[in-house]
Amino acid sequence: MIRYALASAALAMSGASVVPLAAQAQTQAPETRTIEGIVVIVNDQPISYSDVRERASLLLLTLGAEQPTQEQVQQITSQALDALVEEKLQLQEAQEYEVEVSDADIQQSISEMASQSGMTRENLIQVLLSSGVNPSSLEDQMRAEIAWRRIMGGLYGSRIRISENQIDEALAQQRIAMTKTRYNVSEIFLYAPTPEEKEQALQGAKTILDQLKAGAPFELAAQRFSSAPTSAAGGDMGWVSASDLEPEVASAVQAMTEPGFAEPITVDNGVYLIAFRGKRDPSETETRVDMVRLSVKDGSDTALQAAVDKADGCASARKLASDDPNLEAADLNDIRLKDLGEESQQMINAVSEGEATQIFATSGTIAVLYVCKREESGASLPTREQIEDRLFGRQLSMIAERSLRNLRRDATIIQRGS
């Protein structure tokens, strides 16, 4: 679903017929599509200066700027041009794969977009026209996004497999993170690998930040501008520790004490905008576990490993111990994880319920711990289904972003002088 937040002060219209936006633009404001000159040619397809200006205005309207100033339009021009270049490439791929987007597909997205902004379809058209934006610019953007989503889903959606081990590893990482100070943050990343592009991205970031401070929804800005894998989720990173962030971002987040936005953060390959919603110290969370400690009386590593290979959980570990005099199973219930040593905490956090930890030495012998039950208070872990959905979405987003950059690298893009 394509999401936008257009200007709320829309002028009412009535009695407009339901036809493609481009056709309405031709009857209501044909002069807005005049081509003044070519700024870039993408594989023989031109992008004009008027295209770039209209797209910059559209992006600002997306953020809620009712009447974008010339300065705002200028500051966002780089992002507008990048978006138009990518759309050309996406539509060229759609033609290559014979992916068609019907007028009905676009009209449905327009209606959904208008509804989310508290407007009718006719209101939305008037907002665009009154701001000097030809509605066909929005139509082109949606056509490219729908086509690209279908291409990526068709090529890679069925190939992405999230394994149980990946889910286990992600959950283990979440548990370890819960033992550290965590920050609830969202991100917008403007990819800018060269110094010139970075300076342009920094100007765009400042304009975006102004709109965010004025009340623009961060989620929509992330979907429109961010190159990070989290863009599809509105930039939401969830609760993360400082070690999960780039050093420059971590420093900025750790310095924040109140919810709000960090100033644009420059890193090696781009610029970050960060929304900070709060932090949670480890003391605010508590984990309690029920476990079974399975040990061997003769200290034989081979015997214990053989038992671990047979036992698939707490119940079977107890059963093995009852049948083998060399094995001993002890129940350890309602143990506060924070009362254990750091090494023990890390071992237990690294496994899921029903799994055994690595072998460790204890009381003159060796043992493993089976986690039977884990309860969290003060914070909750995502479910396995949520983890799977998140991993799938991020993988598909990363593939789509990499594919787009490859297309851009291989394309013939000619910059024209003014």
Instruction: Please tell me whether residues 135 and 37 are part of one structural domain.
Output: yes
Residue 45 lies in a domain: yes
Number of domains the chain is built from: 3
Instruction: Over range 127-156, report the average pLDDT.
Output: 88
Stated pTM of the model: 0.63
Contacts of residue 289, Cβ cutoff 8 Å, sequence gap at least 6? 332, 335, 337, 348, 371, 372, 373, 374, 375
Helix (H) or strand (E) holding 334: strand 327-336
Instruction: Please tell me whether residues 269 and 297 are part of one structural domain.
Output: no
Instruction: Please tell me whether residues 151 and 187 are part of one structural domain.
Output: no
Residue 404 lies in a domain: no
Instruction: Please tell me whether residues 103 and 120 are part of one structural domain.
Output: yes
Select the highest-mean-pLDDT range: 127-131, 236-240, 254-258: 254-258
Q: Tell which residue, 193, 189, 250, 197, has the closest CA to residue 221.
A: 189
Instruction: Please tell me whether residues 275 and 346 are part of one structural domain.
Output: no
Instruction: Please tell me whether residues 152 and 220 are part of one structural domain.
Output: no
Instruction: Please tell me whether residues 272 and 336 are part of one structural domain.
Output: no
d(CA 189, CA 264): 10
pLDDT band at 29 (very low <50, low <70, confident <90, very high): very low
Domain with residue 253: its CATH number is: 3.10.50.40
Task: Report which DSSP code applies to 215.
Answer: T
Hey, what amino acid is at 383? T
Residue 167 lies in a domain: no
Q: Which domain holds residue 206?
A: 179-283
Alpha carbon distances (Å) from 138 to 87, 134, 186, 291: 11, 8, 26, 58
Instruction: Please tell me whether residues 242 and 189 are part of one structural domain.
Output: yes
Instruction: Please tell me whether residues 140 and 261 are part of one structural domain.
Output: no
Residue 39 lies in a domain: yes
Instruction: Please tell me whether residues 99 and 211 are part of one structural domain.
Output: no
More confident site: 242 or 28: 242
Q: Which residue has the tokens 């969830």?
A: 238
Instruction: Please tell me whether residues 327 and 269 are part of one structural domain.
Output: no
Residue 12 lies in a domain: no
Instruction: Please tell me whether residues 142 and 31 are part of one structural domain.
Output: yes
pLDDT tens per residue, range 336-359: 888 888 889 989 988 888 999 999
